[in-house]
Amino acid sequence: MATLAITRPTATKVTGTLGAEVEGIELSGDLPQETIDWISAALVEHKVLFFRNQHALTREKHIAFGARFGELEVHPFAKYLSQFNTKDEDPEVIVIESKTEGGGRGTDIWHSDVTWREQPSLGSILRCLISPEAGGDTMWADMEMAYDLLDEETKAQIEGLEATHDWWNFRLGLEKAGVAQALIDEMLVEFPLATHPVVRTHPVSGRKAIYVNSIFTIGIAGMEKAESDALLEKLTRQTAIPEVQVRLRWKPGTVAFWDNRSTQHYAVGDYGAEHRLMERVTICGDTPR
């Protein structure tokens, strides 16, 4: 009699707050719908999922896996920027590579991805191809816990406020890469500054999260600059609380899938000139509310 082995996936928490290591799933585009649903639910609950030893996950399968969760984002600026080293043939893949001292960095600051879009991404799936022997970890912060840990006065103060998000750092990168000003001006029309609530409500869980970050958020709507800067500083500093953090050490074959709506992340730049090569697939999201 043949034995039918059905492996049920398991999720093991990595900290008391966020992050879970998932076992029992080989990532691909061919997973049954119930497994995809299981991952979606685990993603909202744990905010970032880690899958180890996914050595069979090629670029093609990575894209196919991502597409199961929604439309994939084509990052509008990545192809112009040398640190992303992205080829035109797979526009859904962002290549993140560093092999010189301080090379290809710029994500060593707390942020949520593409919050300068009207509809920032739902989540990203990042795959490690080459990792330094030590260093190059990524940290995530639970922005729902970060919100919960604010004092009541601050919570009341930020209720209903909106903030402006800008892709100014990409603009600098584009200028440096020699992209024509006329093209950058066209991009500004296509991607005008976005305005999002300072406190975001998760579309699935209904939980509140701090939704401003140190890279892209440039000001709170209708507030004097000094006051706005001080408030943004206070809110973004919540990411520094160890209780809201999880830290991942990558190995080739490690995949992380994060909920970009409820987390921020930080790529730790502590590996000098060692080689680190990652590929990211990003799933489109909805309008923050």
Set 62, 113, 127, 202: catalytic member: 113
What tokens does 162 get?
Answer: 């909106």
Q: Which amino acid is at 57?
A: L
Two structure tokens written together for 113: 């991805």
Q: How far is the CB of 251 from other proteins (least distance, A)?
A: 13
DSSP assignment letter at 176: H
Two structure tokens written together for 15: 């900290």
Radius of gyration of the chain (CA): 19
Q: How many other β-carbons are positioned within 10 Å of the β-carbon of residue 235?
A: 26
Distance, in Å, from the CA atom of 61 to the CA atom of 41, rounded to the nearest integer, reads: 21
Q: Is 196 a catalytic residue?
A: no
CB of 198 to other proteins, least distance (A): 22
Quick check: 169 binds other proteins (CB under 8 A)?
A: no
Question: Is 62 among the residues known to form the active site?
Answer: no
Least distance from other proteins to the Cβ atom of residue 165, Å: 23
Residue 101 near other proteins by CB under 8 A: no
**165 has catalytic annotation:** no
Q: Is 103 in the site for other proteins (CB under 8 A)?
A: no
The answer to whether residue 106 forms part of the interface with other proteins (CB under 8 A) is: no
- 272 binds other proteins, rule: CB under 8 A: yes
Q: Which is nearer to other proteins, 68 or 111 (CB)?
A: 111
Give least dist CB 53 to other proteins, A: 19
Taking phi over 0 as left and psi of -120 to 50 as alpha, with beta for the rest, 70 belongs to left
Segment interacting with other proteins (CB under 8 A) among 77-85, 194-202, 217-225, 234-242: 234-242
**Nearest residue to 43 via CA among 63, 61, 70:** 70
Q: Which of 10, 13, 53, 227 binds other proteins (CB under 8 A)?
A: 13
Cα–Cα distance measured from residue 47 to residue 36, given in angstroms and rounded to the nearest whole number: 15
Query: Is 265 among the catalytic positions?
Result: yes
Pattern 135-154, other proteins, x by CB under 8 A: xxx-x-----x---x-----
Q: How many residues bind other proteins (CB under 8 A)?
A: 31
Q: Positive or negative, the Cα torsion across 50, 55, 57, 59?
A: positive
Active site residue ranges? 111, 113, 265, 280
